[in-house]
Amino acid sequence: MNSDILEMLIGAEDYVSGEELSRKLGVSRTAVWKKINALRKEGYVIESATKKGYKLKIMPDLLNKKTISSNLDTNFIGKEIDVMRSVDSTNEEIKRRASAGAESGLIVAADEQTSGKGRLGRVWESDSGGIYFTILIRPELSPNEISAITLAAGYAVCLAIREYTELDAKIKWPNDIIIGSKKICGILTEMAAQTDRVDYVAIGIGINVNHESFPGKISGKASSLYLELGKKLDRNDFFRCVIKKLDKVLSDFLVSFSSEDLNEFRRLCATIGRNVSVKRNGILLEGKATDLTPGGELVITDNSGKEYIINSGEVTVQGIY
């Protein structure tokens, strides 16, 4: 009910009486008062005045469904959004909801994750200040077409960061977003599939937005939009921009990724033109990243001029990480 009260207070231009809140939410006045106090503890400044009721004065820097959803008007991504204060992992939460029948396009976002997951079994630090979210998609694709969706999602986030902040965000293939040589965003895609049919895909995206610092071992490698820009972002507003871009790019992608998009992806891919190394079946392949295929795979050319096509894996890029 906290979020219902909040939505009513955000939507109201003036005071909302305790009587109206209790009537519309179907709870007692005492329950309303308790929930108002709970919101105050979360950092919401809510003024109360006799005979007038409650008025929201200051919102804390928390993700808020009502603000994110206003004027969103997307095709399918974010038609339903759920915002949680804290969750183990938004990927795990989406998987639970997918098993319970949730629809394609659902986003679950959280201010904090207690067991955020990175690629290759790593931990994803998920302190407050970031945007951590997972999108549920039920595409009519075969399992081997799914890695391209992740590329498209990374490309969309890169475009959103560039548009919203004017920072020179680039893609480290396949789908890290970097600024300079530091990581700003990571994506973990998981799926449930039969051999020839995908049941659902969970695209988990973590963006370092307002972090002021990072713990020791990752501080040399990670940065945030705040650290790069020198000012904090309105996370709800920025998140809306990211969702809109994801909706546009993924809607186009599920029909067919245009050659303009592919060319733009190439232009924004910081990996191309650099010396790289990647392990394939335990063997280290070293060379230069020379191109992307129309399907988004990385072309690596070794010293002898032989070309290798890589469709997944952890690529180390000279000068980045």
Residues forming contacts to ligand BTN in the complex (CB under 6 A) are: 89-91, 113, 116-119, 122, 124, 132-134, 176, 186-188, 204-206
CB within 8 Å of 4: residues ≥ 6 apart: 25
Is the Cβ of residue 33 or residue 226 nearer to ligand BTN in the bound state? 226
Whole-angstrom distance, CA of residue 131 vs CA of residue 47: 28
- Please state the closest distance from residue 113 (CB atom) to ligand BTN, in A: 6
Q: Tell the residue number behind the tokens 């599920």, with chain if given.
A: 254
Is the Cβ of residue 32 or residue 63 nearer to ligand BTN in the bound state? 63
- Please state the closest distance from residue 150 (CB atom) to ligand BTN, in A: 10
- Please state the closest distance from residue 259 (CB atom) to ligand BTN, in A: 28
> If phi over 0 gives left and psi between -120 and 50 gives alpha, with beta otherwise, what is residue 48?
beta
Cα distances (angstroms) measured from residue 101 to each of 23, 134, 154, 192: 32, 16, 26, 13
Q: For residue 203, give the 3-state DSSP assignment.
A: strand
Distance from first CA to last CA of the chain, Å, rounded?
A: 45
- Please state the closest distance from residue 101 (CB atom) to ligand BTN, in A: 21
Is the Cβ of residue 21 or residue 242 nearer to ligand BTN in the bound state? 242
User: By Cβ distance, which residue is nearest to ligand BTN?
Assistant: 186
- Please state the closest distance from residue 196 (CB atom) to ligand BTN, in A: 27
- Please state the closest distance from residue 35 (CB atom) to ligand BTN, in A: 28
Give 2's Cβ-side CA count (13 Å radius). Answer: 16
Cα distances (angstroms) measured from residue 136 to each of 71, 114, 204: 21, 20, 9
Beta strands in 102-237 (DSSP E): 107-113, 131-137, 169-172, 176-179, 182-193, 198-207
Is the Cβ of residue 18 or residue 206 nearer to ligand BTN in the bound state? 206
Is the Cβ of residue 102 or residue 188 nearer to ligand BTN in the bound state? 188
Is the Cβ of residue 89 or residue 223 nearer to ligand BTN in the bound state? 89
Element holding 57 (H helix, E strand): strand 53-58
- Please state the closest distance from residue 321 (CB atom) to ligand BTN, in A: 11
Is the Cβ of residue 123 or residue 309 nearer to ligand BTN in the bound state? 123
